[in-house]
Structure 1
């Protein structure tokens, strides 16, 4: 079942001449994890704004083609209702935190308050998310005093509490250390297992290789490559676009040059490890 369909979509911002997105066509299936990659300036953030309905409800500009969310044109959606259907997690966790709540518990509950959720249900949903993300030790702390990694986890908790079916996540680990990055990807994988539809922009390509079902490669505002993660991230031509490939992919190609019997290109560390162990007879 398709959750978002793009048909011949092009878009340019107000008072600009060039289209940021051009001739975009894709059908996104419910419950899949999509990795969105591409060189700087390829249109990834604009693509996220399109997927979450900020285009055209906030960014007006010039939008042509059809953007269908659950079969209904995005132009016909009520923007408030759409914000509950599609959750968005910012690149910078400092942007996501409201700054007006004194505890993490209140911060996570803020979106539910705005929706007018009854007090008992609100508390129940926040407690459930706190347990899910193991935030018990943080709930009484001031969210403004947390580390970047902690703030990002709270930002995820706030969106998860809203129980959105679709999540658009824009480079959530760009300012995080490796440990915090691993924690965030565990959360994203947990959401994937819950059947959420996930769109993730991320430069850490090894993690995209590990978790995504499909990958969309944007280049100069167009979809340059798309499909199953293993197929896309084993394509050496992406390097010519300025797109990084997983280290496992590059190592796998090097191994293939040494041993012609290796006929499968691995894209994850575990796959290439198995490949090496198999060839040495272990």
Structure 2
């Protein structure tokens, strides 16, 4: 049974001449890690804003179709209910950090305080999440004095501590170096292993190939591919639709054209190395 379902969703922003997304019809399972791919302007962020309830509540515009979350129409949830069920992580951690507290510990605890969670439970949850996100050593630091990668992990922690069922993460590594990027993906994988449903927008395709379960591909607001990552990311033709494919897929395609026999649907470097050793 689908945990999240988009039923023929079409949405047009105010004053826009055409829909940002059209006829989106998808079913997402609980506890899986989905990545949305597509060129700029393809509708990725719009999908995220629809699921988090910001469309049409804040952006207005015209929306057709319906979204079902955990067996209930999204319109039936209050924004308070949605905020406890769905966590959203911004591309820029500056937009996530409130500044209401002058320490990392206080920043992460702030949301729980607003929800009236008992003090002992706050301490327990913050300590646990700081360990998971490797931010414990930063607890007494001012959030605005951290590096970009550290801020992104604090932003993640401030959302994760609320224990949402669904995580929507919009390009969290776009401003991070490779080491911090790996740390962020490691945290996301931990959340998946804890049973969270994850919807990620990300351009770092090699890591998407390694960590994701299923892939959604958007083009001009339409869903053109949806399926298991090996099926989608191994489709070389997607390069013609504004999708950057893993270098492994491109290399494997060139090798096959030169007559080398390789297994189909190889999308990660470790798999192609293993395959070449057997040739």
TM range (shorter): over 0.9
Question: How many angstroms does 1:2 deviate by?
Answer: 1.6
Q: How does 1:98-177 map to 2 (within 5 A)?
A: 98-177=98-177
Deviation at 1:3, TM superposition (A): 1.5
Number of residue-to-residue matches in the alignment: 279
Q: Following the alignment from structure 1 to structure 2, what is the Cα–Cα distance between the partners of residues 114 and 15?
A: 36
- TM-score, with structure 1 as normaliser: 0.96
Q: What is the CA distance between 1:118 and its match in structure 2?
A: 1.0
| Alignment partner of 1:49 is 2:33 | no
Contact 2:36-2:215 at 8 Å conserved across structures: yes
Greater shift in the superposed pair: 251-260 or 106-115 = 251-260
Deviations 1:146-172 (A, max 9, x none): 010000000111111000010000000
> Aligned Cα RMSD in Å?
1.0
CA contact (8 A) 1:10 1:22 kept: yes
Structure 2 length as normaliser, TM-score? 0.97
Unaligned regions of 5+ residues in structure 1, if any? Answer: none
**Other structure's SS at 2:117 match:** coil
C-alpha distance in 1 between matches for 2:133 and 2:6: 33
* Contact 2:53-2:79 at 8 Å conserved across structures: yes
How far apart, CA to CA, are the structure 2 residues paired with 1:37 and 1:147? 27
Q: Deviations over 1:57-108 (max 9, x none)?
A: 2222111101111121111111111011000000001111112210000000
Structure 2 Cα separation of the partners of residues 260 and 149 of structure 1? 41
Find the residue that maps to 2:102 and give its secondary structure.
Answer: coil
Residue of structure 2 in register with 1:246 after alignment:
246
Deviation at 1:260, TM superposition (A): 4.2
**2:64 paired residue number:** 64
Give the SS at the match of 1:2. coil
Question: Displacement of 1:115 after TM fit?
Answer: 0.8
8 Å CA contact 2:231–2:265 kept in 1: the answer is no
4+ runs deviating over 4 angstroms? none
Asked whether the equivalents of residues 57 and 75 of structure 1 are also in contact (C-alpha less than 8 Å), the reply is no
- Please say which of residues 10-19 and 212-221 is displaced more in the overlay: 10-19
Question: Could you tell me which residue of structure 2 aligns to residue 194 of structure 1?
Answer: 194
Contact 2:168–2:200 (Cα < 8 Å) also in 1: yes
**CA distance in 1: counterparts of 2:154 and 2:260, whole angstroms:** 49
Aligned ranges for residues 262-277 of structure 1 at < 5 Å? 262-277=262-277
